[in-house]
Amino acid sequence: MMNSRFIPLRINLEKQRPMFQEHLVAWTPTIALLDMEGREHYRFIGFLTAPEMSARILLDGAKSALFLKRYDLAQGYLDAVFADYQGTFAMPEAIYYSGVLQYLTSHEPKFLRQGLERLRKEFPGSEWT
């Protein structure tokens, strides 16, 4: 899913300094998630393990898709986090946004409650709980 939905781009500071300035990159590594129009939706700074980075990119992709009201795409990204990245730091936030997504598509508040109950059970100390 990563290669079919996201396009990685590495910017060389010495050769492409204007891009660093345009995107306000002050430190590396900076990972920014931009849409097709070049609008930045999310960014994070620092090194992550490959699984943590993949989970973070998929989660941020889901949040971007939610913002753009592309709910099927958001669900696919969240499903990938749940299936492939159990145990990563992205899980509590993915559970939260899964409840939000189910609420947005159904307008049933029960999905928000179910998400909160799952967070309380699985991640009681998380900031997403």
Residue of 52, 55, 77 whose CA lies nearest to 67: 77
Residue 127 lies in a domain: no
Q: Look up the pTM and report it.
A: 0.86
Domains held by the chain: number = 1
- Dist. CA 97–CA 7, nearest whole Å: 23
Residue with tokens 């969240």: 78
Residue 109 lies in a domain: yes
User: 99-119 as b/e, with b when 16 or more CB fall inside 10 Å?
Assistant: bbbbbeeeeeeebeebbeebb
Residue 129 lies in a domain: no
Query: 109 pLDDT exceeds 90?
Result: yes
Domain that holds residue 13: 2-122
User: pLDDT by residue (tens digit) across 88-105?
Assistant: 999 999 999 999 999 999
Residue 28 lies in a domain: yes
